[in-house]
Amino acid sequence: TITKAMRNFIASKQMQEKGIIALWSLTVPSLLERAVTSRAIEAIADAIAAHITTVKICEHGLGALSTLATSKSMVNDVENVIDMLFSCMWVNSDSANIQQGALAALSKISIDQPSHQVLKITPADLDVVINSMRSHILVKGVQENALILIRSYTFSPANVNVIGQSPYLLGLIKTAMSNFQGSFRVDVQDLLHLLPSDNQ
C-alpha cells in the first residue's frame, strides 16, 4: 500500500512527496473507512515530520491533511500531530504557503465537529500563530486562517483566557480587519467580543 511504502522509505523525499500526492488525490474522506483515513493522515504527518525543511513536502502534506483530517477524532496521536504542525510553522516561518496550510490543518484537527470540543492552546502555541500573522500581515490567506483557528479555540473558556493574555493579538486582529475590510470567512467582530474586556 502507499502508506506502507511511505513508512518503509521514510528517508526518501521523492517517495514521501509522491505518496502524499497520491493519498491526497485518490481519497475522499466521506467515502473512506475511518481507519483507512487515519492511516493516511498518520503517514502524511510522519512525512512532514521527517522532511520538515523540505518546502514541497510540507506544502503538499499540509494540503492533504487539511482535506483528510476533517476533525480531531480522525487523527491518531493528535497531540503529536499538532506539535508537529506548530514546529513546521516555526521552521518555515518565512513561507506564507506553509503558514496558510498549517493554520488550515490546525483549524480542522484542533476541533471535533459537530460537538465543538476543542483542544487546549498553550501560550507557546499562540505565539506561533501571532508570529505567523505578524510575518505575513499582507497575506489574506494567512490572516484569515489564523483568525478561523483562533475563533475555533475560543470554544473553550480556558483557551479564551490564554488568548486574552496576549498583548499583541488584538492589534493584529484589528490590522487584519483594516487591511482586508473584514472580508473573512469568520465573524471577526464576534471574535473580538469573546476576548476579555481588559484586552479591548
The per-residue pLDDT for range 57-113, each reduced to its tens digit, is 999 999 999 888 776 777 778 889 999 999 999 999 999 999 999 999 999 888 876
Confidence of residue 40 (pLDDT cuts 50, 70, 90): confident
What does the pLDDT read at residue 89? 97
What does the pLDDT look like over 146-157, one tens digit per residue? 999 999 899 899
As a 3-state breakdown, the chain gives helix, strand, coil percent values, each rounded to 5, of 70, 0, 25
C-alpha to C-alpha distances, 138 to 38, 102, 126, 169, nearest whole angstrom: 35, 17, 19, 16
Question: Which among 88, 79, 92, 178 is positioned nearest to 122, based on CA atoms?
Answer: 79
> Cell for 105?
490543518
Classify the C-alpha dihedral 27-32-36-37 as positive or negative: positive
Phi/psi of residue 118, each to 5°? Answer: -125, 150
Q: State the pTM of this model.
A: 0.88
What does the pLDDT look like over 20-35, one tens digit per residue? 998 887 655 555 567 7
